Amino acid sequence: MLRTTLLASAAAAMLALPALARDNHAILIGASTYTNLDERFWLRGPANDIDLVQRFLTTSASTPFAPENVTILADGIEGSTAPTLAAIRQAFADLTETVQPGDFVYLHFSGHGSQAPAADPDSELDGLDELFLPVDIGPWNDTVGTVENALVDDEIGQMIDALRARGATVWAVFDSCHSGTATRAAPTGDDDVRLRKLDPRALGIPDAALADAETSSRALPDPRARPESPVADAAPAGDTGGFVAFFAAQTNETTPEKRLPKGKKGRRSQGVFTFVLFETLAQNPGITYRQLGQEVLRRYAVKNMARSTPMFEGDLDTVVFSGEPVKPVTQWPVEIGGDVLTIPAGALHNLTEGAELALFASAADADEAVLGYFRVDWADAFSAEVVPIAAHGHEALTPDVIPNGAYLRKQAQGMDFTLTVALPEPDAANHGAALAEALAVIRTDGEMSSRISFVPPGEDADIRMAFLPDSPRPGAVWLLPSSGLFDPENPGQTPSISIADKSTEDLAIVLEDTLGHMSRALNLLKIGAGYGASDLDVDVELRTKNKRNKTLRTLDTVAVPKLIPGDEVHILARNNTDQPVDVNVLYVGSDYSISHFFSGRMQPGDSLKKGLLRITDTAFGRDRVIMVLTPAKPQSVVENLAFMEQAELETTRGNASSMAAAFMQAGFGTTTRGAIALDDEEDGPGGAVLQFEIDAVPGDG
């Protein structure tokens, strides 16, 4: 367990110095090519992560970083220093000598992580040190009980402490992981997805040493307990600079890298966490770390990208980069280069090919002062090329009529409810032929034919089909998340459909129903992402209690709380607006069920105190509480979204009778599988959609 400690004398000396102008600094570390390891363990994405982060910090951050203050240690980037252990130590030592009180330091680590028996077992609850692997990582040295050239969590903590003791505020981001060794990626033909963790055995750590470490574990078997953070802040507030740490995954999970952003042009291997983090920042500058973490969790759900759970620690209620709150940027200056028109925004800003932009003479012009329209023709992460179009009564403009200082403003985008499904790689048993016939039926006769897009293996998709011959169901097609990750230790949480026992028509029915189930649940999350939290002034808090502890306690939703059977979820909300607000609460289960637990109205100044649901023991996994807030007109009918309910999805689909198939297609059925509604137990601008993540786990309530 890496803990930041107080260097009191150094901090006191710094506080005695006069205040200086603030500088931003960064150390960006990306390790890809591990020359002492087998090539199959090398990564592709860390250099691309560092390139993206460096470009963002120096061109797009709400408080920009001077290029000379950004130190890059990454193999695969021309002119940069290789991220060896010695180079990393030197970079931190140099920066510690440089920073002044009030400075801000951003740290980014992209590469492999692993674990090793703790050098000091008393410092680790689980008996293991977390490691970040520099490119010169060596093998386990049994004589001294360490992995050669490993960067151990405790040393990272000491280096961060030294920066904070100088009075600098530190934000550290770790796009690596340490465990989750059973998880693997489905085959895609081009090794599209790689995992940023290394089994300790690949470093030569003997099983006996790992077993000895396990016997020293002091971790309590509390099912509600969150895995211990690799970095914890133990420094008293006010004596050192601030500290925030973001982690791509909990210590018992893995995190992937894959080709991003979505689309065929410009994709390259990136850490999923790095890309989503900076995509969120680009579209929401000047938010707090807590808001940033909550939005990252939402995007993981909407994009079905990974099963890992990012962790967020530290001073989360301060503004990112220690800046000031600012509104999102939705317009950019037009840059004209001959016949090519560009804007300094791209895929990170949610500008994809085909997006529509409106032209204005200046950034301050009202929406009705539009001069013409343009379409995004091509976009990379930070820039886009646009072409004029005739639209909405305006003719296509030529570059010579565009006024100096003109801006292109993003227009409201419709939500894409198409479910993109990547086809599987061919299988030895030739189940793919039967699957292809069923897909042909769906394409021609299926009710969802216009809402499902099937793409080749390896293409970006919401759902990835795979044949897994060494899985518990070798004769089935598995429906994996976008990352293609599969956990053989928990196969019951992943939908699969047997093939050999079905006719072509039956397979088509079951497959379309399964995809329809998944699509409706994912689309509900997409709606939430489209509306977001907005500026509607309604305070919302989730609380919990159980039979053993009947006192209502606030849930830290950015931490993704773990709840066990018997735990209850309650809501506390207050309408601070001057108009009525309708409230609907939906529950999206890990089994793709949608339950409707509440519909009602809060008048101005009203509070809502209500028990929502109780966790049951019939389904475990990542669930989501969706709260829909809609401004209402007085005397109008209360909005009720109960029609969105759907039954749970059976994860192992067999055959279905014709009667059952008819009910499937009609969409009948309600569910309370993963949670049951509670009866009332207590009195008590555009709409907003709030999303709260909950992990339902086994346990004795």
Per-10-residue mean pLDDT for the chain, 701 residues long? 37 39 93 94 95 96 94 94 98 97 97 87 74 95 88 92 95 83 56 78 87 69 72 57 92 81 73 95 92 91 79 93 86 91 92 91 93 93 94 93 94 80 89 94 86 88 91 92 81 88 94 92 83 78 93 90 92 94 91 91 94 85 90 89 86 51 38 50 57 83 60
> Are 578 and 473 found together in one domain?
no
> Both 350 and 479 in a single domain?
no
Burial grade of 512 (CB within 10 A; 0-12, 13-18, 19 or more): buried
Determine which helix (DSSP H) or strand (DSSP E) holds 588, and give its type and residue range.
strand 581-588
Say how far apart CA 445 and CA 508 lie, in whole Å. 10
**pLDDT 10s digits, 590-648:** 888 899 999 999 999 999 999 988 988 877 888 999 998 989 888 899 999 998 899 88
659 Cβ contact partners less than 8 Å away, ≥ 6 residues apart: none
Give burial (CB, 10 Å; 0-12/13-18/19+) of 462: buried
Q: Residue 89 maps to which CATH number?
A: 3.40.50.1460
Q: Please tell me the predicted confidence (pLDDT) of residue 18.
A: 40
| Single residue among 524, 541, 562 that ends a domain in this structure | 524
pLDDT the model gives residue 128: 82
Q: Kindly state the DSSP code that residue 36 receives in the 8-state scheme.
A: T
396 and 448 inside one domain: no
Rounded Cα–Cα distance for residues 694 and 301 (Å): 12
Q: Are residues 227 and 136 in the same domain?
A: yes
Beta strands in 238-371 (DSSP E): 243-247, 256-260, 268-271, 311-314, 331-333, 335-337, 340-343, 356-360
Q: What angle do CA 478, 525, 309 make, to 5 degrees?
A: 65
Residue 191: how many other CB atoms lie within 10 Å: 12
pLDDT for the residue numbered 184 = 56
Read off the CATH number of the domain in which 402 is found.
Answer: 2.40.10
Separation of first and last alpha carbons in the chain: 29
Percent of residues in the chain assigned helix, strand, coil, to nearest 5: 25, 30, 45
Which of 332, 244, 322, 246 lies closest to 282 in space, CA to CA? 332
pLDDT computed for residue 538 by the predictor = 93
Residue 611 lies in a domain: yes
Q: Are residues 315 and 401 located together in one domain of the fold?
A: no
CATH number at residue 615: 2.60.40
Q: Which two structure tokens, joined as six digits, stand for 474?
A: 């070798």
Nearest to 370 by CA among 345, 406, 320, 422: 406
* pLDDT tens per residue across span 372-423: 999 999 988 899 999 999 999 999 999 999 999 999 999 876 678 889 999 9
**Predicted pLDDT of residue 240:** 83
Q: Return the SS3 of 244.
A: strand
In this structure, are 317 and 353 located in the same domain?
Answer: no
Supply the pLDDT for residue 152: 92
CA distance readout (Å), 523 to 196, 303, 419, 516, 519: 29, 10, 9, 10, 6
Q: Which of 467, 489, 524 is the last residue of a domain?
A: 524
The DSSP output letter for 163 is H
Do 304 and 206 lie in a common domain? yes
* Domain limits for position 688: 532-696
d(Cα 375, Cα 354) in Å, to the nearest integer? 6
Residue 701 lies in a domain: no
CA distance 168 to 104: 6
Last residue in a domain, options 385, 410, 435 = 410
The string of DSSP codes covering 183-195 is: -EEPP-SS---EE
Q: What is the pLDDT of residue 420?
A: 92
CA dihedral in degrees (279, 280, 281, 283; nearest 10)?
Answer: 90
Q: Are 520 and 512 in contact (CB under 8 A)?
A: no
DSSP one-letter code for 294: H
- Let me know whether 14 and 84 are in one domain: yes
Q: Is residue 461 part of a domain?
A: yes
- What distance in Å separates the CA atoms of residue 393 and residue 420, rounded to the nearest whole number? 33
Do 513 and 553 share a domain, yes or no?
A: no
As a whole number of angstroms, the distance between CA 104 and CA 18 comes to: 17
Question: How many distinct structural domains can be found in the chain?
Answer: 4
Report how far Cα 338 is from the mean position of its chain's Cα atoms. Answer: 39
CB atoms within 10 A of CB 258: 26
> What is d(CA 462, CA 522) in angstroms, rounded to the nearest whole number?
9
- CA angle at residue 162 from 157 to 168, to 5 degrees? 105
155: CB partners within 8 A, 6+ apart: none
Contact 184, 195 (CB under 8 A): yes
Residue 267 placed within a domain: yes
Task: From 403, 399, 400, 379, select the one nearest 388 (Cα to Cα).
Answer: 399
Sole residue written with tokens 């016949």:
339
Q: Which tokens go with 625?
A: 């509480």
- Domain check: are 225 and 368 in the same one? no
The pair phi, psi for residue 252, each rounded to 5°, is: -105, 20
- Regarding whether 97 and 204 lie in a shared domain, the answer is yes
Query: How far apart, in Å, are the Cα atoms of 454 and each of 114, 260, 365, 439?
Result: 36, 19, 42, 9
Same domain, 314 and 400: no
Q: Which of 664, 671, 654 is nearest to 448 (CA)?
A: 664
Cβ atoms within 10 Å, residue 680: 10
Name the DSSP letter for residue 104. Answer: E
